[in-house]
Structure 1
Amino acid sequence: MIAPADLEHCREAIRHGSLSFHAASKLLPAKVRDPALALYAFCRLADDEVDLKAEKAEAVLRLRDRLDAVYAGRPQNAAPDRAFAALVDDFEMPRALPDALLEGLAWDAEARRYKTLSGVRDYSARVASAVGAMMCVLMGVRDADALARACDLGVAMQLTNIARDVGEDALEGRIYLPLDWLEEAGIDPDAHCTDPDASEAVRAMVRRLVMEANRLYMRSEAGVGALPLSCRPGIYGARFIYAGIGSRLRSMKYDSISARARTNKWQKIGWLGQSLLLSGATVVMPRSAVLYARPLEEVQFLVDAAARGVPQTTRSDALISVLATLEQHRQDQRAHLTGQRAGVT
């Protein structure tokens, strides 16, 4: 069980750090909402640790240690760690799922760029679909088809985030647009980061991301009916709130360079109301055949990990490799600093 004080800390972290999830979580039953708040608080902490820290390799390695401590049953003495450790124990959370998130954050620390849309989906699977799969575990859903649709929703949400943040990411030296799209448009990636421009070509790329996200939002809806009835409004709410960002981008003519796409309180209330109505309709509607569509290739490993329900005790070779690269980077930096100090003295 999550300690009440730790849960309140997580609730406050989400209230201020993730407005969209905070709004949608109000429609979840308490038995799911409370561990979901703990899950999102830990994921929010993980994302901020890497995104906001200058020493990104160091931040990822600290997160690795914190996650190791959680799965060893000895979480660090911090509310998000204790709360996450409680839900890992209560729900037997497969380690492959938070490890996937850690791998995505490690890719961020490497400032990895992606050649194709498939590569962007690989990244989205780790930083977003892994969270969706963990949410399914909290809801007691281990059916492979429902998990595949939850992963569709995660990829759609992350593509929406990427589309919204093209300008902000560029100014931070980050590019999540597929490099082959930039190449086709004759845009140099480094020039894009130096001086991002809301050109027709860039707007077209934003539109392509939004259209791909919309396709996956539509596909994900087939899985909502496979969730417990009490959980459906909250998941529909998250789906509509995030898709609303894409609609806002469309009204801005897909210019995510000059301004940030935002939705307001009243729009969120409207989407939550729509979620309640649609959830009631799913009680009598037959299941869509789309539920049984094959998972995206990039999320198959998440579906397998969550559906089998087998706790994983070791990390994948791919994650071990990227963490070793970051460890070497940390050692090189320390050696460089030591050399600088020696030179000064």
Structure 2
Amino acid sequence: MSRAAAVDTGAFAERSIAKGSKSFAAAARLFDAATRGDVVRLYAWCRHCDDVADGQEGGHLTGARPEVAIAERVAGLRRDTDRALAGDTAGLDPSFQALAEVARRHALPPALFHEHLKGFELDAGGRRYETLDELLGYCWHVAGVVGVLMARVMGVTDEAVLDRACDLGLAFQLTNIARDVVEDAGEGRVYVPLAWLREEGIAPADLAQPAHAAAVARLRRRLVEAAEPYYASARQGVDRLPRRSAWAIGTAERVYRRIGLKLVAAGEAAHGQRVSTGTGEKAAAILGGGWGAVRFRAYGEEPRDPALWRRPAI
């Protein structure tokens, strides 16, 4: 077994999250030190995989797309991930050393990491989704499984609570898709269910056109509404987390959900704009997350609007 040069994976991961996600970085500060260290290490691997697959850095384009095809880049990520999980991180990006440390400390199943990489493979194939149920299957790979991994790092073993963590990942991803509809369409990526587009009488290429801002606003609303039962379900699992973790995750839930609500409120005016939360809104989310972490909440009830709530088959 070869060994990589010593890397301060904690410091590396902190730089990664600071650059890649202001929203999650704010919430992650609320974890206890040990949990935060491993949460951001796991984030660093996820961020690296996303960047390699998309030809970005820190979630942002840095120039021309890589010449290597996305399918080949994703295959490389799978090989490097397998090496790291086997304990061989020599010559790999520091994110893989961070991954190896977290996976070893928390006995994380390799299959879950491969489930996440499957999402990038779906993107590599240019997959589009006919229905919301099909889209939810994609959301499981790119976000739901990450919620499960994060919960495992927080010490969760209860399958019901892990299901709730998956639901939060699904809600986050539906919110992200709603926010990035126009930007994604400009790059040839369409995640909105194709059946919904036909109902609006528009083609995938129309999503980026200002002339169709009203239709895009309606589609965004549908995505945000689809996320609501998953946010409601996830909130029921937060009470089963350690208090500091409950504070951090409760804060993240409020920040991301707020983005969706702002999209709906903005309507057509959000077309071509990247909606985010401001400092005051994040502060309010931190206070709300703290209150939610210390008060008692009933657990085990079904989420609201159960007819709209379904977990993807995996």
Do both proteins adopt the same fold according to a TM-score greater than 0.5, normalized to the shorter chain?
A: yes
1:1-345 pair list within 5 angstroms: 5-52=8-55, 53-54=65-66, 55-77=69-91, 78-192=93-207, 195=209, 197-253=211-267, 255-282=269-296, 285-290=297-302, 296-298=310-312, 301=314
Alpha-carbon distance in 1 for matches of 2:243, 2:98: 26
Residue type of the alignment partner of 1:178: P
Q: Which residue of 2 aligns with 1:338?
A: none
Identify if the C-alpha distance between structure 1 residues 67 and 258 changes in structure 2 by more than 3 Å, giving closer, same or farther. Answer: same
Mapped contact 2:116–2:145 kept (Cα < 8 A) = yes
Residue type of the alignment partner of 1:18: S
Alpha-carbon distance in 1 for matches of 2:292, 2:100: 34
Superposed CA deviations along residues 158-213 of structure 1, whole A, max 9, x for unmatched, are 000000001100100110000000112211224445x4644322211110101111
Among the aligned pairs, what percent are the same residue? 36
Alpha-carbon distance in 2 for matches of 1:196, 1:143: 47
Number of residue pairs the alignment of both structures matches = 294
Alpha-carbon distance in 2 for matches of 1:255, 1:98: 38
In the TM superposition, what is the alpha-carbon distance from 1:100 to its structure 2 partner? 1.0
Q: Report the TM-score, using the length of structure 1 for normalisation.
A: 0.81
| Structure 1 segments (4+ residues) deviating >3 Å | 190-193, 195-199, 293-297
Alpha-carbon distance in 2 for matches of 1:230, 1:103: 31
In the TM superposition, what is the alpha-carbon distance from 1:47 to its structure 2 partner? 0.5
Alpha-carbon distance in 1 for matches of 2:268, 2:159: 35
Mapped contact 1:35–1:138 kept (Cα < 8 A) = yes
Q: Which has the higher contact order (CA 8 A, sep 6+)?
A: 1
Alpha-carbon distance in 2 for matches of 1:265, 1:272: 11
Alpha-carbon distance in 2 for matches of 1:259, 1:213: 20
Alpha-carbon distance in 2 for matches of 1:226, 1:198: 44
Give ranges in structure 2 of 5+ residues lacking alignment: 1-5, 56-64
Alpha-carbon distance in 1 for matches of 2:30, 2:284: 13
Q: Which residue of 2 aligns with 1:328?
A: none
Residue type of the alignment partner of 1:263: T
Alpha-carbon distance in 1 for matches of 2:36, 2:136: 27
Local SS of the residue matching 2:302 = helix
Local SS of the residue matching 1:290 = coil
Mapped contact 2:27–2:249 kept (Cα < 8 A) = yes
After alignment, is 152-161 or 58-67 more displaced?
58-67
Alpha-carbon distance in 1 for matches of 2:152, 2:272: 39
Alpha-carbon distance in 2 for matches of 1:142, 1:198: 46
Give ranges in structure 1 of 5+ residues lacking alignment: 302-345
Mapped contact 1:69–1:76 kept (Cα < 8 A) = no
Mapped contact 1:167–1:196 kept (Cα < 8 A) = no
In the TM superposition, what is the alpha-carbon distance from 1:115 to its structure 2 partner? 0.6
Identify if the C-alpha distance between structure 1 residues 192 and 286 changes in structure 2 by more than 3 Å, giving closer, same or farther. Answer: closer
Mapped contact 1:206–1:254 kept (Cα < 8 A) = no
Mapped contact 1:168–1:257 kept (Cα < 8 A) = no
Alpha-carbon distance in 2 for matches of 1:169, 1:66: 27
Alpha-carbon distance in 2 for matches of 1:153, 1:254: 27
Superposed CA deviations along residues 310-338 of structure 1, whole A, max 9, x for unmatched, are xxxxxxxxxxxxxxxxxxxxxxxxxxxxx
After alignment, is 159-168 or 258-267 more displaced?
258-267
Superposed CA deviations along residues 120-148 of structure 1, whole A, max 9, x for unmatched, are 11111110011100011111211111011
Mapped contact 1:66–1:76 kept (Cα < 8 A) = no
Q: CA RMSD in A?
A: 2.0
Residue type of the alignment partner of 2:146: V
In the TM superposition, what is the alpha-carbon distance from 1:288 to its structure 2 partner? 4.3
Alpha-carbon distance in 2 for matches of 1:118, 1:286: 29
